[in-house]
Amino acid sequence: MQLSQPITNIRKLDRRTTAKLLRLGGHLLALYPLASLLWAYRTNGLGADPVREILLRTGEPALVFLILSLAITPLGILFGWKQLYPLRRIFGLYTFMYVALHFTTFIWLDYGLNLQFILDGVLEQNFALIGFVAFLLLIPLAVTSNRWSQKKLGKKWSMLHKLVFLIVALALIHFWWLVKNVYYMPFFYTAVVLLLLTLRWTPVKQKALHWQRNRRNRRQRTIKEL
């Protein structure tokens, strides 16, 4: 009993340390595109069309971190990496931050905060309209991404946050139309999203869970044999 207690405390400490390191790594990873953008601005590295470059450097990270937030659950199913789950909220909030920067760039630097120009730009350009709808849908998810909202809304919270699947679809369409097929990354991001959705499909998910249980049992038997 005296020996098992310190071992348990060490394991708890290790889990806490791992969780802190993962959260720190998540923040650093999510802030890197912003730091890179600020450095490019400071060193005049935004090219001949800086507004378009800023739009790409804020829009693409938003899509990347949205996809990463969707990837956490499948990774947990496949490999049992439950310690990654807190990163869903972190990546989700950074997604909103980059979308907000992307939208601010559009209405301020691109359209000079002229309301009529902004309305015309949104309504006349399909990619802008799709992106604006995705931004609006993302707002309630960002506002309710806390434990208080989760407890207050109950089952409605899960239903609300399923909007993320519609949002990622709209974001992909927005990206496809924005880059106009001259950039290979839309193919890559779409393939990744389709893979993640496949892993969430119930038959595939059940097989993945079965594989994970067998893998864990084999590992436990190996440890006992040692």
The per-residue pLDDT for range 129-181, each reduced to its tens digit, is: 999 999 999 999 999 988 889 888 888 888 888 899 999 999 999 988 887 65
* Total residues belonging to the chain: 226
* Cα gap 13→201, rounded to integer Å: 35
Average pLDDT over residues 103-131: 86
Residue type, 187: F
* Cα gap 8→5, rounded to integer Å: 5
Q: Is residue 175 exposed (0-12), middle (13-18) or buried (19+ Cβ within 10 Å)?
A: buried
Domain boundaries, the chain: 4-225
In this prediction the pTM is 0.84
The per-residue pLDDT for range 15-66, each reduced to its tens digit, is: 788 888 889 999 999 999 999 999 999 998 888 889 989 999 999 999 999 9
Write out the DSSP string of 4-47: HHHHHHHHHHHHHHHHHHHHHHHHHHHHHHHHHHHHHHHTT-S-
The per-residue pLDDT for range 74-83, each reduced to its tens digit, is: 888 777 777 8
* Cα gap 65→12, rounded to integer Å: 29
